[in-house]
Chains A and B, each alone.
Chain A
Amino acid sequence: MKLYQYVFRLLIVIGSVTGFFGGWAFLAHAGKPVAPQTQPAEMAPAPLPTLPPLNFSTNDAPSSLQPLPPPPSFSQNFVPRLRTRGS
């Protein structure tokens, strides 16, 4: 039984070593790959998706700038003495 195991292990080692060096020798003698002269069309990178540019020229107000609620209409006679105005 031990002899059978010994032979079996030896065969595995011999097979592995032979396969390794055989493959090395095969690849060493194989022809070198030729670099393609031009990129195949299908290799061109697809354009990246882009977001539309932000438009600041509209009437959209900045975030902290708030529209204030319109107060009730004032009478034309309502002209308080304390009033702020451009001069």
Chain B
Amino acid sequence: MEYVEFRAMNSDILLAAEGATDQLAEGFRAARAFVDANEARLTRFSEGSELAALNRSGGTWFRASEELYDVVRQARAYSDQTNGLFDPSILNALEFAGYDKSMDEIRAHGVSSRRRTAPRARADLSAMQFDDAARAIWLPPAMRLDLGGIAKGWIAERAARLLSKYADACVVDAGGDMFMLGLPAGECAWRIALEDPRDEKATLAVLCIAPGAVATSSITKRRWQQDGYARHHLIDPRRGEPAETDWLSVTVIAPHATTAEVFAKSLLIAGSREAERIAARRNDIVFIAVDGGGRLWGSRDAKELMDVGFAYV
């Protein structure tokens, strides 16, 4: 297995692949170029991005690229599947909570002071309109989207599919959102470590996962202090505030990276009381949650993914 690591989307990106070395080098270059190009397109932290242009277009039709249109279309559909717990239109609330610049900048310089006025009530996401023939999106006035997590999953899967043209087996890991194609030589599954959300150097379990996607959402990483209050990046759309949940992280295994990312986030917001109801909307996902004591909780099939025979050294 050969590896390439770099920084993009405010996350550590890892490309890993097996195959002929010269082919892999070309595949790594192509995958990295794809990641960089689509980060530039889908980021909310650059005024020059296509997403920023869409966010300025409220009240008028916006003709989108194929990539942006696909991500926004999927985001709208996932909102319905998660009973609204996934909602890309929480950007105003996210900025009000202090997340108005990239996490790398917040870590370096801290957050801005809280604005004096709360964001206006959000427009209903169902008011958003799509014109498939013209590939155009209509946002209600003042609605602004954050595609952070779902865009990262979308990019990871597309980059992995691109890399797989040059490799026998490969994985793209975008800050914990992973998409795998093929299998490493001699293996019957990908072995993926589950990080302890309380200690990034600790491993809680090793999972055996078939080709497909795995994503983790956590409230312990993107955190900051705002006016003396601890805040994190996971906004509960029902309250417009950082979610109050009894879990620290949720990992979802799914056929697609966007599905894994969206349901990891939604199940984390839902917590132990509502997770079962949300997860029941999809019969193709498995999830594992970590509570404050480091205990693992899983959906019905989760136990079968635990690699109990792994040599722990």
Interface residues of A (CB under 8 A from B): 56, 59, 61-87
- 13 A–B pairs (Cβ distance < 8 Å), ordered by A: A66-B299, A66-B300, A68-B303, A69-B303, A71-B204, A72-B312, A80-B192, A81-B16, A82-B14, A84-B195, A85-B218, A86-B221, A87-B222
Q: Which residue of A lies closest to B310 (CB)?
A: A71
Q: Which residue of B lies closest to A68 (CB)?
A: B296
- How many angstroms from the CA of A37 to the CA of B173 in the assembled complex? 83
A71→B300 contact, CB < 8 A: no
B312→A73 contact, CB < 8 A: yes
- How many angstroms from the CA of A56 to the CA of B271 in the assembled complex? 13
A87→B176 contact, CB < 8 A: yes
* B199-243 Cβ-contact flags toward A at 8 Å (1 or 0): 011111111000000111111111000000000000000000000
Q: How many residues of B contact A (CB 8 A)?
A: 56
| Contact of A78 with B312 at beta-carbon distance under 8 Å, contacts A84-B251, A85-B195 already known | yes
If A68-B298, A83-B195 are given as contacts, then 5 extra A-B residue pairs at C-beta distance below 8 Å, sorted by A number, are A69-B303, A85-B249, A87-B174, A87-B175, A87-B177
A66→B275 contact, CB < 8 A: no
B297→A66 contact, CB < 8 A: yes
Q: Which residue of B lies closest to A63 (CB)?
A: B276
* Residue from A66, A71, A80, A86 with most neighbouring chain B CB atoms (10 Å): A86
Query: Which residues of chain A are near B11, meaning CB under 8 Å?
Result: 87
B206→A71 contact, CB < 8 A: yes
B218→A80 contact, CB < 8 A: no
Describe A's contact surface by its main secondary structure: loop
- How many angstroms from the CA of A82 to the CA of B174 in the assembled complex? 11
Describe B's contact surface by its main secondary structure: strand
- How many angstroms from the CA of A75 to the CA of B298 in the assembled complex? 24
Q: Which residue of A lies closest to B216 (CB)?
A: A84
Query: Which residues of chain A are near B10, meaning CB under 8 Å?
Result: 87
- How many angstroms from the CA of A81 to the CA of B192 in the assembled complex? 8
Q: From A70, A77, A79, A86, give the contact of B249 (CB < 8 A).
A: A86
| Contact of A85 with B201 at beta-carbon distance under 8 Å, contacts A62-B276, A65-B297 already known | no
B203→A80 contact, CB < 8 A: yes
Q: Which residue of B lies closest to A72 (CB)?
A: B312
Residues of B163-187 whose CB lies within 8 A of A: 171, 173-178
How far in angstroms is the closest Cβ of chain A from B284? 15
B193→A82 contact, CB < 8 A: yes
How far in angstroms is the closest Cβ of chain A from B289? 8
Query: Which residues of chain A are near B312, meaning CB under 8 Å?
Result: 71-75, 78
How far in angstroms is the closest Cβ of chain B from A69? 7
Q: From B216, B275, B295, B303, give the contact of A85 (CB < 8 A).
A: B216
- How many angstroms from the CA of A41 to the CA of B288 in the assembled complex? 60
